[in-house]
Structure 1
């Protein structure tokens, strides 16, 4: 029984640590989904792609969080494996249809419920955020919440290709703000980054646009091609946005 309880405690602590890592990453500007993936990857030691590694390692605060997750993950994985071995040895002695097996199954069921419970997620997240504010020097601006990314709004990247509607146009010509889409920045192919670009800035092939807006609008823009059909889709998107503004006034 002791081995089974130890296993459940270790898994609970592991879930808590990755939750802390996720919230800490969110406070550094990552979206919740990316933060969750990075926290779990670091804790389990599965590694990242080159692009993701640069994203995480360049930021000094994220490096500290990664170090904490990797260190605790190495200890946690080894301890979990040991507990699993001892748990199954004890189950072999008592039989798989025993009190230990029922406790293990019930414990796993409870952990799964807690892991996917929105109520628990909100309460636990608030508690962890308070602790981070009190005991760390993290920049606790939650950019994910500030941009309302939990709703239909999100930040995405669009790599510009030759036949895209946005190619070889200035931001003034594109008038994406009238569609409800904002360009937060542009990454040039040569590595240059333009933050908060203005109207005369031209969009070129291989540029990566950092966009903010509703999911449906961003998806439409990503699929939009040059020509009359693209212009028509732009006009439709502008009309739809104007309609939403009128509905909000009423």
Structure 2
């Protein structure tokens, strides 16, 4: 393997590594973790650094998170071994006459990698479309209409703002107008927005009826949100 090819391979591997990190972050968010918590957990597992006992309870308390954690850690070990071997191979290929050029190429590759990573995380158009694509695949493969994936958008003391993808509409909400439902009286939840048909916004009022495939932005306690929209066995 030439040094140039080693740089290209290392760049490709690191780009894949960052994409894998973002993909698993989105998948963990679908299980009810905030983006910050999900990314911290994923980075901890991919880098094989582990997490504290308190943090680990977030993973071990959910069957789906345990499965995701196993796959994430497996990816982490594979990437760690591969990256170390590539770095060793790169330095073994260096020679005095070509070292400076290779170092410049390596720096350029790192800069390009940072730009791509920044675009993925900071440019709303890129991030939103990437998140939607991965979420769509994750919902189909992980949940298979068994329960409604929850993504936490914000935390306000004991309440949260969450986005729920309705894949399995609760029986008590089927063909029921919101004014006749028990969302407020029994669960103290407030539906803020309904997204339907390619994320078109539906005006929320008493006559609104939730449908399968809707995305619902809701405010209230996470415990009550799960109580209404999530089958308890799916989080064991």
2:110 corresponds to which residue? 108
- Encode CA deviations 1:9-42: one digit per residue, 9 max, x unaligned: 1111111111111001110111100000001101
1:10 corresponds to which residue? 13
Q: Report the Cα distance in structure 2 between the residues aligned to 1:112 and 1:78, rounded to whole angstroms.
A: 22
1:141 corresponds to which residue? 149
1:61 corresponds to which residue? 64
Q: Does 1:52 align with 2:58?
A: no
1:184 equivalent among 221, 224, 235: 221
Contact 2:29–2:150 at 8 Å: present in 1 too? yes
Q: Report the Cα distance in structure 2 between the residues aligned to 1:26 and 1:16, rounded to whole angstroms.
A: 15
Q: Report the Cα distance in structure 1 between the residues aligned to 2:129 and 2:108, rounded to whole angstroms.
A: 23
Cα RMSD, aligned residues only: 2.6
Residue 104 of structure 1 deviates from its aligned partner by 1.9
Q: Report the Cα distance in structure 1 between the residues aligned to 2:117 and 2:63, rounded to whole angstroms.
A: 29
2:137 corresponds to which residue? 131
- Encode CA deviations 1:165-198: one digit per residue, 9 max, x unaligned: xxxxxxxxxxxxxxxxx9837xxxxxxxxx55xx
Contact 1:56–1:62 at 8 Å: present in 2 too? yes
Q: Report the Cα distance in structure 2 between the residues aligned to 1:134 and 1:94, rounded to whole angstroms.
A: 53
Q: Report the Cα distance in structure 1 between the residues aligned to 2:95 and 2:73, rounded to whole angstroms.
A: 33
Q: Note closer, same or farther for the CA distance 1:7–1:140 as it changes in structure 2 (3 Å cut).
A: farther
SS at match of 1:30: strand
* Residue segments in structure 1 that go unaligned for 5+ positions in a row: 158-181, 186-194, 197-250
Q: Report the Cα distance in structure 1 between the residues aligned to 2:30 and 2:75, rounded to whole angstroms.
A: 20
* Paired residues for 1:209-228 under 5 Å: none
* Larger Rg belongs to: 1
2:84 corresponds to which residue? 81
Residue 71 of structure 1 deviates from its aligned partner by 0.5
Q: Report the Cα distance in structure 1 between the residues aligned to 2:10 and 2:63, rounded to whole angstroms.
A: 34
* Residue segments in structure 2 that go unaligned for 5+ positions in a row: 159-218, 225-236
Q: Does 1:19 align with 2:22?
A: yes
TM (norm. structure 1) is 0.56
Q: Report the Cα distance in structure 2 between the residues aligned to 1:57 and 1:93, rounded to whole angstroms.
A: 51
Q: Note closer, same or farther for the CA distance 1:97–1:36 as it changes in structure 2 (3 Å cut).
A: same
Q: Report the Cα distance in structure 2 between the residues aligned to 1:78 and 1:131, rounded to whole angstroms.
A: 28
Contact 2:139–2:149 at 8 Å: present in 1 too? no
- Total equivalences in the alignment: 157
Q: Report the Cα distance in structure 1 between the residues aligned to 2:148 and 2:114, rounded to whole angstroms.
A: 28
**Higher-strand-fraction structure:** 2
